[in-house]
Amino acid sequence: MKRYNKLISLLFFFALTGCMPSGLSKLILEKGMVARMSANTLAELDDGLHLALCGAGGPMPAPKASGPCVLVIAGERMFVVDAGTDGVRNIARMGYPINQLEAVFLTHFHSDHIDGLGEMGTLRWASGANASPLRV
């Protein structure tokens, strides 16, 4: 544990001073990416019904907000209600496997509820080689 505390202290120092060696930052980024991409939050959940907010923004541009999106997890099945901007990226950031999305439900057709639909279908297909289309 002391070894990790020293490492964290060293990384914190580099972050504060802005003098992180480029090789070290690249190594940290690569290791973190692999860990995040292989995460599967779905496997960590108890059986049951779960909801995850993957976006709650509105139609006006907001750089720090994502469009409306709710991930519904029923056992091992995953569904999305509304497909707002960055919703699918937030699902991936939370560690849920995009390739296991079964369907998207749309509450209505306002642009902020559907503008991430294309990316959602593409990432679902690309991340799991799904041969079937994403049901909407």
**Catalytic pick among 46, 47, 112, 115:** 112
- The 10 Å Cβ neighbour count of residue 2 is 6
In whole angstroms, give the CA distance from residue 86 to residue 68.
9
Catalytic residue at 112? yes
Closest CA to 106 of 73, 136, 135, 65: 136
Rg (CA), the chain: 18
69 DSSP β-pair partners: 55
Say which residue the tokens 């907000």 belong to. 65
Point out the residues that are catalytic: 112
